[in-house]
Structure formats: structure tokens, C-alpha cells
Chains A and B, each alone.
Chain A
Amino acid sequence: MRRIGLALALLALAGCGGSSSDSQRTPLTVVVNAPFSRTPYLGRTIENGVRLAERELNANGIRLGDKTYDLRVQTMDTALSPARAVANMRRAVGRRAVAVVDEGTGVDASWRTAAAAGIPVGIVFQGGSGLVDPASRPNVFRIAPTDHGLAFRLAEYLVPKGLKVGLLHDDSDYGTAGGRALATAFSRNRSAVAIDETLPADALDLAPQVLRARRDGATALVVWGRPATIAAAITAARSAGWDVPFYTPPTGNDPFVRQQLADHPSWVNGLTFAGGRLTAEVGSGPFQTFEQKYESAFGVDRVGVKTSAGASVIVPPETAMYAYDFVNLVAAALLKADSTDPRKITSALNEVSVEGANGDQRGFNRLNHEGVIDDDIYFARFHDMTYAPVKDDPLSGTLPTLPQTR
């Protein structure tokens, strides 16, 4: 009897004491659901953004009541397959994740699995209009430019220029969603549209489609698709001697486009893409601070091309910034909810804001789960393998150019 009593006392003692040291912290799982095998750059940059936030938050831990929590990141590969994305989400639920940072593939199906467990899902790349809806998908949030915003800003920018626009989109999920957004955005200005055409996403040669756009009188091309599609469209036009200006969504800024066109650097000149602004009114300081932290943790993301002066071109960590901001919002929601219950975290995400990595306020609310508002979409134009914000747009004209060489 005395022995049992002693054992019980020891057990009770083991349960006492502080919980602030790293080894005694309780882990909270954050899952990164991204296409690591199919688009490694994208997957890795999302993961890195999450891991950077994890490191910073874990420095002091997240204190709720008398317990301190650490974030633990687990990655899962979607391989751009919706079925795998759904299977991953089931695994995330099984591992009691408090949040999922998602590239966006398969969210149309996987959100239900997460919703059943109350887990918030933060999309940080895909901008499809139907993916996020606070009313019907209350657990889905997004920090990335929306297709709707990109398309409307493109229309707003291009229509006053008097251009006859060829709207080309590929038949990938990304391109199809973008094609729908463009059709809506240009629906009030159909006279500005020369042709609306779908491109095969896997085609190496888009010369017939580009030629058709030229024949139909296009004086500008908006190409919405994967990086390979954009590179192929530019190649088709330029190799035919057609100096038409190209406009794209953020995929125009993907390193793959410049890598594909590295043999003809002049073909990249003039390529204009729409994207979420990287800097705030306070200037480029906050983003560059984030970029420095990112580079010291994970190294520089090089494009693999050089400027005419021989400087190596790097990619600013834009998507990583969105992932980083989402994890910080989850941490703020944990504190607001004072709970690790995913349902309470999801609810609290509607009530918190944080200063984003670029110095802007980042947050959601009950009516809007978009962390990048349409007003924050800007335009940048390539020259000599690097880009600078355009000057003929009210927002873009106020933004500084970020250093992109090392």
C-alpha cells in the first residue's frame, strides 16, 4: 500500500512544475499541403514561409493559460492532384492539425474534410473565385491575389489604353479559373476583346493559337496559365516576329518563364504581370527585412538567369510571405481564442489582424476571407530579366522597385 502511495506521489510530482522549456512545450501541428513533387519551387517557398513563422513563434512559444505551445510543421505533397490533396487533408485531421496552409489544389473537395474537424485552411497561391466563400466555406481563408481582382485590375488597366486584347488561357485548373475571371472582367468591354481562346496546357508549340489571335486583330495578349504556357506563347509570338505586348497573372513572374526564355532575354522585355504588392506605404523596408530573414534561414531563391551586366537574378519570396502571414494570423487567432480547439481558432481568425511581412495590415473578417484585397494588385514590367512597377497605374506608380540581383 505504501509503495502504491509513493508511486502515486511521484506521478503527481511528474505532472507539476513549469512548462516553458522547449522539451515541455506541447506541439501544435500545422500542415503544409502543396505540390512539392510537381512544382517544387512553389511547394518549397510555401513551406519555407511557414517554417520561418514557426521558428519565430517558437522562440517564445505560444502561451495559452498555463501551457506553452510550439508549432510543428508537417508537409504533405499534393502532386497537383485533387485526390491526393483530399487524402492529405484526412491525414491532417488525423494528426489533429490546428491549421492547414494550402497551395489551393483540391480545396474544392478537401475543405469539407477540414470543416468537419473545424480546421482552418489558408490558401496561399490559387486565386479561383469559388475557392473562398465565408458563408458556405467558413473555414477557408486565402492570402493571395484573387483571380477576380487580377482580372478586373487587368481590365481596368488595359481597356483605357485602347488595345484590342486577345484573352488566352490554358486548360489547367488555374488557367480555366483565370479564363472565367477574365471573361467576367471584360464582359462590359467586349469591344476591347479581339479573341478569347483556350490553349492546351501541355502544348510545346502555341504558334497556331497565337497566329489566330494576330489574324483577329489583337494588339495585346493576356495569357493566363501555367508558367510553361506563358513561355510558349511568348516564344510563338516573338519567333514569328510579332512584337505584341504580353500581360499575365503572377505566373508570368515564375522563374520558369525566364529560364525558358533565357536564350532570348529580349523576349522577356516588356512582359507585364499583375500581382500582389510586395511593399507597403512605409516603403520596401519591412519586406526587405522579411527577405533577409528568409535568405538567412533558407538561402537565396535564384532564377537561374543573369542580367546583361552579369548579375545573378533572384526571386523575392512573395508566396512565402503569404504563407508566413497566414501562420502569424493563426498564432494571433490562437491567442484570441485562448484555445487550441480548431473551431475556435477558425472563428477567431475573423477577428484578428497582424502586420504582414510587407508592412501592410493583414487580416480577415466575417464577410471577407481574402487577405489580399483587390486594391493591392499592382503591375510590374520586365526589363533585363528583372521587373519594376509600372508608372502608368495609380497604385503601381507609388511602389518602389525591389532589388532582384545578388
Chain B
Amino acid sequence: MRRAALVAVVALTSGGVAFAAPPGSFVTLPSPVAPLSGSPPLSGGATATSEIVRHRVDAHTRVAVALDAHGTPFRVVATQRLDVRVKGDYFFTIGAPLRAVEAAPGSDSTPGQRATAITWAGFNPGRRTLTARATLDPALAAMSLPLRVEVAPGRVTLVNATGVSATSYTAGVVAPPLRAYFAELKRDVDRDVVPSSGGARVTTRTSPTRVRVVTPLHVSGVVGRRRVDALLEDRLVLRASGPLRLTVTPARPARLLDAPVAGLSGRALLDRVSRTVLTLARTRQYRSFLGNPDPTGRSATTYVYRTAARPAPPPVVAAPVSTRSWGSTLAVAGGLLLALVAAAFVWSRS
């Protein structure tokens, strides 16, 4: 029973990937769409409360991150534009740790604000643009940003913060069908459509592995006087100082997708395909910093990091305090009590 529960938990955390499957089994590959961590998208992502209409929604988000002199984010503002198609009612909930939200220019409607969500409700006559400008809790939002900036005297380090450890498996597989799936996966990515999940027939017993998955980031802009245009998979140390302005976009995992697979063994091919789909899943997460209510819709997110001055904290008003301490108060009260007792004693003897 306990073993069954354990298997269930492993299956859940690994996106349904089969472990220890015997030779000849058909096993599913990791999903190219299942998130590898709780966030992003923020606060559980987006939902559409469905009636009978399923809206087609493309989501474009621009995340403006203000950094202080140490590279710490202190303000995160996300502007999300939802391009909604298909006539009918809509009720969308976009998870976000909100401080404030307002309609941005060009929006056909006004967003609602809840503690952890932007809400949209209305009737779509055929096409609607819903644009919200959301000020997020920087402490919560910063944890899901793809890039970390570390500032030291004369040096700025850009760190890809998308890395995560994921569960996969390795085995010998029948290569040709997997190669065909990989080609199809690549076509889907290039056409910007949601890739479908795949599977493989194993020729050996499968064994679990842990895979480090990182979304490559295209980083461009300036740090001080130095121009930056790089594909960041790990970290980049720049000899530079001064204010920075960087645009960061999750990139297509070209190294995994484009390298030839013709000569790979079944096992090596499986490793490549698994790593690719996991990377696509991770990339999909960072393309949806705020969720898209249409799970099959297109999502894109651009992150803009900029050095700015932290707003000065409001002046602390000194509250008037008594100069007398508890001790002195008790001493005075005790003295008065003693005096009262003494007076009573004297009076009783008089």
C-alpha cells in the first residue's frame, strides 16, 4: 500500500513519466507543457470559468523590473495584453501577487483586483483586447524572475535563474519513431504551436535520472557603457559598472533542437528528447510570467530590467513617549502606598 502511494507520488511529480518499465513497454516522455515548478506563472496561473464558449487567447506580457544599486528588485510591474477571440462571455482570473492593477491604454475593459488575482469579466462581441498594468509584490514576484543581477565594485554578474532539477528516465529505445516525434516537436516549436506529448518503446529496463533544466535567455541592452547581447544559459560576468538596462526574453532552446540526431543511439536520443521537452516546458513557464486563460493560446513575455533609485521610505514620525519608566511608576505607587499605611498607623495610635 505504501509502495503504491509512493509510486503515485512519483508519477505525479514526474508528470506521469513511467519508471522501471520492463523492456518492450511503451513509456510516455516528460510533458513539454507541464510546469516543472509552482511558479511561474505567478500565483497558480490563469483560469477561464467556462460556459460553453472556449475563447482563443494570446497573451503578451511585459515585465518591468526596477533594480536598486545592489541589483535587488524593488518594483515589479507587469503589463499584460490579452487578445481574446471567439464571441461570447468571458470570466478570466489571472493569478498575481497584486499591490494594484489598472487598465492600460488600449484596453477594451477594466480589470478587477483581488488579493491574488486580476479578474476580467464581460462579453466579447468577436474580438477584445484586455490590457492590465499590475504592480506586483516585489518580494513574491522576484522569486519567479528569470534573471538575477549581482552587482559588485567594477563587476556585474548576470545569472540565469531559471534552472530547476527535474525527474526523467533513461533507457534504450526504438529510435526511428522517437526521431520522428522529435522532428514533429521541432516543427511545432518553429510554428509556435503547443507541442504534443510523446512516447517511446523501450528496449531495456528504464531507470530514473535527475536532469538539470535551464531556459536559455536572450539578454540584450547596456550595463554602464558596455553593450550586451548574449544567450545566457548559466552566468555572465561583465567588467562594467553603472546603471543597466537589459531586455530579457526566454529563447528557443536551439542547442537542443537543432543539433543533429541522426547518429545518436536510442539511449542518447531519449536523453536528448527528454532534455528538450523539459526545457520547452521550462521555457513555456517563463513565457507565461502571468498566466494565459487559454491553455493552448500563445504566450510571450519580455522582461525589462532597469536600475532605478529606490523610493525613499516615508519619514518615521516619533511617537510621544513618557519619560517615566515602569520601574519609577511602581516606585512612586509603592511610596504612596507606604505613606498611606504609615498615616493610617499614626491615625490609629492618635
Residue pair A281, B89 in contact (C-beta under 8 Å): yes
Residues of A356-406 contacting chain B, CB below 8 A: 359-361, 363-368, 373-376, 394-395, 398
C-alpha gap A282/B51 in the complex (Å): 6
CB-CB under 8 A from A394, the residues of chain B are 87, 123, 125-126
A350 sits at the interface (CB 8 A): yes
The reply to whether A363 and B119 form a contact with Cβ atoms under 8 Å apart is yes
When the two chains form the complex, which single residue of B88, B110, B114 contacts A398, counting CB atoms closer than 8 Å?
Answer: B88
* A281-B52, A373-B121, A376-B123 known; A398 vs B112 contact (CB < 8 Å): no
Question: Whose C-beta in chain A lies nearest to the C-beta of B101?
Answer: A367
- Decide: A351 and B114 in contact? CB cutoff 8 A: yes
- CB-based contact A365/B53 at 8 Å: no
For A282, what are the chain B residues with a Cβ–Cβ distance below 8 Å?
A: 51-52
A395 touches B125 (CB 8 A): yes
**Complexed CA–CA distance, A10 and B49 (Å):** 52
A365 in complex: contacting residue of B52, B109, B114, B122, CB < 8 Å: B114
Find out whether the CB atom of A281 lies under 8 angstroms from the CB atom of B113. Answer: no
Contact across chains for B122 and A375 when beta carbons are under 8 A apart: yes
- Alpha-carbon distance A242/B172, docked complex (angstroms): 87
Q: Known: A361-B49, A376-B123. Contact between A366 and B113, CB under 8 A?
A: yes
Q: Considering the complex of A and B, which 3 residue pairs feature the smallest CB-CB distances, nearest first?
A: A365-B112, A281-B51, A375-B122
Distance between B113 CB and nearest chain A CB, rounded to angstroms: 4
Picked from A359, A366, A374, the residue with its CB within 8 Å of the CB of B114 is: A366
Cross-interface CB contact of B113 among A280, A365, A374, A395, cutoff 8 Å: A365
Listed A/B pairs (22) with beta-carbon separation below 8 Å = A281-B53, A281-B89, A282-B52, A350-B114, A350-B115, A353-B49, A353-B91, A360-B51, A361-B49, A361-B91, A365-B112, A365-B113, A365-B114, A366-B112, A367-B110, A368-B110, A373-B121, A375-B122, A376-B122, A394-B87, A394-B125, A398-B88
Known: A350-B114, A368-B110. A280 touches B51 (CB 8 A): yes
CB 8 Å contact bits of B214-242 with A (1 = contact, 0 = none)? 00000000000000000000000000000
- Asked if residues A365 and B119 are in contact (CB atoms below 8 Å), the reply is yes
**Quick one: given A281-B53, A281-B88, A361-B49, are A395 and B114 in contact (CB under 8 Å)?**
no
Which residue from A350, A359, A363, A373 sits with its C-beta under 8 Å from B122?
A373
What is the 8 Å Cβ interface bit string for chain B, positions 43-70, against chain A (1 contact, 0 not)?
0000001011100000000000000000
Residues of A within 8 A of B89 (CB): 280-281, 360
Residues of chain B in range 264-295 having any CB-CB distance to chain A below 8 Å: none
Q: Nearest residue in A to B125 (C-beta to C-beta)? A: A394
Q: Scan A210-251; emit 1 where CB is below 8 A from any B CB, else 0.
A: 000000000000000000000000000000000000000000
CB contacts (< 8 Å) of A398 on chain B: these are 87-88
How far is it, in angstroms, between the C-alpha of A366 and the C-alpha of B89 when the chains are bound?
A: 21
Per-position binary interface string of chain B over residues 147-161, scored 1 when its CB falls under 8 Å from any chain A CB and 0 otherwise: 000000000000000
Q: Which of B113-141 contact A (CB under 8 A)?
A: 113-115, 119, 121-123, 125-126
CB within 8 Å of B: which residues of A?
A: 280-283, 350-351, 353, 359-361, 363-368, 373-376, 394-395, 398
Question: Helix, strand, loop or mixed for chain A's interface?
Answer: loop
Of all chain B residues, the one with the shortest Cβ separation from A394 is B125
Give Cα distance in the complex from A359 to B125, angstroms: 19
Q: Which B residue's beta carbon lies closest to that of A361?
A: B91
Residue B111 CB within 8 A of the other chain: yes
A367–B52 touching, CB < 8 Å: no
Chain B residues near A395 (CB-CB < 8 A): 123, 125
CA gap between A375 and B128 in the complex, in Å? 12
Are A368 and B112 in contact, with the CB atoms below 8 A?
yes
Q: Is the pair B51, A359 in contact by a Cβ cutoff of 8 Å?
A: yes
Report how far A376 CA is from B123 CA in the complex, Å. 7
Given contacts A365-B112, A394-B125, 13 further A-B contacts (CB under 8 A): A280-B89, A281-B88, A350-B114, A360-B51, A363-B121, A364-B112, A365-B113, A366-B113, A367-B101, A373-B122, A394-B87, A395-B123, A398-B87
CB-defined contacts of B91 to chain A, threshold 8 Å: 353, 360-361
Least CB separation from A393: chain B residue:
B125
Using Cβ atoms and an 8 Å threshold, which residues of chain A touch B119? 353, 363, 365
Cα distance, A246 to B115, chains bound together (Å): 44
In the bound complex, CA of A343 to CA of B112 (Å): 21
B46: min CB distance to chain A, Å: 15
Complex alpha-carbon distance, A363 and B119, angstroms:
10
Tell me, in angstroms, the Cα distance from A394 to B115 when the chains sit together: 33
User: In the complex, which of the residues B52, B110, B121 has the most CB atoms of chain A within 10 Å of its own CB atom?
Assistant: B121
Residue of B nearest to A360 (CB): B89
List of B residues within 8 angstroms of A365 by Cβ: 112-114, 119
Residue of A nearest to B89 (CB): A281
In the complex, residue of chain A having the shortest beta-carbon distance to the beta carbon of B88: A281
Separation of A359 and B119 alpha carbons in the complex (Å): 18
* Cα distance A374–B109 in the bound complex, in angstroms: 10
A87 to chain B, nearest CB (A): 34
Q: Enumerate chain A residues within 8 angstroms of B87, measured Cβ to Cβ.
A: 394, 398
